[in-house]
Amino acid sequence: MKRQEMIAALDARGIQPWDMCIIGGGATGLGVAVDAASRGFSVLLLEEYDFAKGTSSRATKLVHGGVRYLQQGNVKLVTEALHERGILRRNAPHLVKDLSFIVPNYKWWEGPYYGIGLKVYDWMAGSLGLGKSRLLSREETLELAPTLDAEGLRGGVLYHDGQFDDARLAIELAKTAAGQGATMLNYCKVSGLLKEEGRLVGVVATDTLSGRTYTIAAKTVINATGVFVDSVLRMDDASSEPIIAPSQGVHLMLDKDFLPGGTAILVPHTDDGRVLFAVPWHDKLIVGTTDTPVSQVDIEPRPLPEEIAFILQQIGRYLQRVPRVEDIRSVYAGLRPLVKSSGRKTAELSRDHVVLVAESGLITITGGKWTTYRRMAEDTVNTAIERGGLDDRACITATLAIHGAPGAGDMEGTGAGAGQANEATDPLHFHGTDAAAIRKIAEVDGRWGQKLHPRLPYILAEIVWAVREELCMTVEDALSRRTRSLLLDAQAAMECAGPVAELMAAELGRDRSWQEQQVAEFRALAAGYLVEPHKQTIV
């Protein structure tokens, strides 16, 4: 997946209309691109920033049915999500794995209450379940989670859900779509919609890296911009009423020793009515999340001090060692695209997705969550077929392997099919069958096999690979989404920004001025992921 080839494909199309032009390169837009391209449609995806720059790289890293939605009685959503969880686990085994969770019990009624609920959760998953839930004794609970607060602990309930790396899945979806013939462009901003007699016939877009503007014809235009869908709706109709009630979720990254082992914790009820997770991930511990209504959406949402304090307070009730502000390696915030519903708290709004069709023909897909991205895409493409007069072709994504999965085939001649890395022993596991190609890059130059930073699991060869094959255009792309350095340890990411910029400049043919600008911009952004007293100047 090379940017110059994508630009060439856009140029070659000329005035011939695309079957589908997708605005937005997050989970939803990428899913739509995979679905549409795999059905044989001509597809162009345009993303203003980088793939998964927004909400889609800021999740809790869980592929799950949603225990709290079961508590709310939304059986339809949970059933659908559990089904999709199983499909994703099957189609992307290099990216999705089974994760055991403990619900600790400190009151006599919690064991039977949560035990029964999670048995229903198992039953709803059916043949695509990841494992059976069971009651744990106090001793078994502490054996799996030795740093749980033992005072008053009666036992626990063990259940299973899925875990993944959200930004890595997004990149592999982009590569899957490209392998199916889609043209995928990041840093390409849609600035206007083209209409004939009130009917939408295309878009105007600008490549923000080159400054070149394109007039693009399309039979259907799909608004898949997540929390930003209202801005595209207003572009189509200035009088359009907002349909999104955004909610901010914050997560803290801690060192793994706060909860050693491979078992996560679910706190079923916090002071704000949400559940709280403590999840092992990339040898760190993610703790979150909050639910804070926000009036405005921003591409770089910032956590509020009270959100950080809330998470520390809530998780501190369950751990022997209470985390402090100075223990936070990184803090990140994401916005949920919740569909408006009057009179309800955002914690109570459903994550069901909706597909809307405007009078102009603009198709908007919003709501939902990462776990159900594939089903959202299927519904969207089906709507585009119906409203755009396209050939009726069946969806095949339920059995379509995602790039990097064993047996996915050599989609782009970049090492797929070369054998799977082992997660337990190889940090390149999440690249799937591309891991072999990355190891070959490391062999070319011994320096490229070195780690980016002693506290990070990534090697320089992964940066080279990202630039050559994954449309990695900035230091932020490299350290935030092609690797997860920024989320794992913001200070370490700031410290290795210089060498990463130098390596990228050599690959991209950029000068010293570009390097300096990239480093300065990244460090300014990364400072927002640090919490005092960690913030300090890097020279």
pLDDT in tens, 152-207: 999 999 999 999 999 999 999 999 999 999 999 999 999 999 999 999 999 999 99
Identify the CA nearest to 102 among candidates 155, 152, 54: 155
To which residue do tokens 């009088």 refer?
239
> In this predicted model, which residue has the larger pLDDT, 76 or 335?
335
Residue-level pLDDT at 533:
57
Share of the chain above pLDDT 90, in %: 82
| Percent helix, strand and coil across the chain, each to the nearest 5 | 40, 20, 35
Residues near 326 by Cβ (< 8 Å), separated by ≥ 6?
533, 534
Identify the CA nearest to 63 among candidates 87, 80, 45, 85: 85
Angle, alpha carbons 421-403-89 (nearest 5°): 75
SS3 assignment, position 518: helix
Of the listed ranges 56-60, 403-407, 509-513, the least confidently predicted one is 403-407
- 379-389 pLDDT, tens digit per residue, is 999 999 999 99
Residue-level pLDDT at 536:
45
Q: Which helix (H) or strand (E) holds 539?
A: none
Residue-level pLDDT at 538:
44
Residue-level pLDDT at 425:
67
* All structural domains of the chain: 3-55+168-242+349-399 (3.50.50.60), 94-163+245-336 (3.30.9.10), 445-529 (1.10.8.870)
What is d(CA 174, CA 168) in angstroms, rounded to the nearest whole number? 10
Give CB contacts under 8 A, 24+ apart, made by 352-357.
352/74, 352/76, 352/77, 353/379, 355/379, 355/380, 355/383, 356/243, 357/383, 357/387
> Does the pLDDT of residue 89 top 60, yes or no?
yes
Contact indicator for 445, 451 with CB cutoff of 8 Å? no
Facing residues of 373 across strands? none
pLDDT band of residue 408 (cuts 50, 70, 90) is low
* Average pLDDT of the chain to the nearest whole number: 91
Residue-level pLDDT at 450:
96
Share of the chain above pLDDT 70, in %: 92
In terms of Cβ atoms closer than 10 Å to its own Cβ (0-12, 13-18, 19+), residue 392 is: exposed
What is d(CA 449, CA 376) in angstroms, rounded to the nearest whole number? 39
What is d(CA 334, CA 339) in angstroms, rounded to the nearest whole number? 16
Identify the CA nearest to 535 among candidates 389, 330, 259: 330
Residue-level pLDDT at 406:
87
Residue-level pLDDT at 67:
77
Give, as one character, the DSSP assignment of residue 478.
Answer: I
> Does the pLDDT of residue 416 top 60, yes or no?
no
Identify the CA nearest to 186 among candidates 406, 480, 434: 480
Residue-level pLDDT at 27:
97
Residue-level pLDDT at 75:
77
- CA distance readout (Å), 402 to 127, 129, 197, 313, 473: 21, 20, 40, 39, 23
Residue-level pLDDT at 76:
81
Residue-level pLDDT at 331:
98
Helices (H), 319-434: 373-388
Q: Is pTM, for the whole model, over 0.85?
A: yes
Residue-level pLDDT at 412:
37
- 513-535 pLDDT, tens digit per residue, is 999 999 999 999 999 999 975 55
- 428-476 pLDDT, tens digit per residue, is 999 999 999 999 999 998 899 999 999 999 999 999 999 999 999 999 9
Residue-level pLDDT at 343:
44
Contact indicator for 32, 381 with CB cutoff of 8 Å? yes
Helices (H), 260-364: 305-316
Q: Pairing relation of β-strands 213-223 and 199-207?
A: antiparallel
> Does the pLDDT of residue 417 top 70, yes or no?
no
What is the rounded average pLDDT of the residues 87-116?
94
Contact indicator for 376, 31 with CB cutoff of 8 Å? yes
> Does the pLDDT of residue 486 top 90, yes or no?
yes
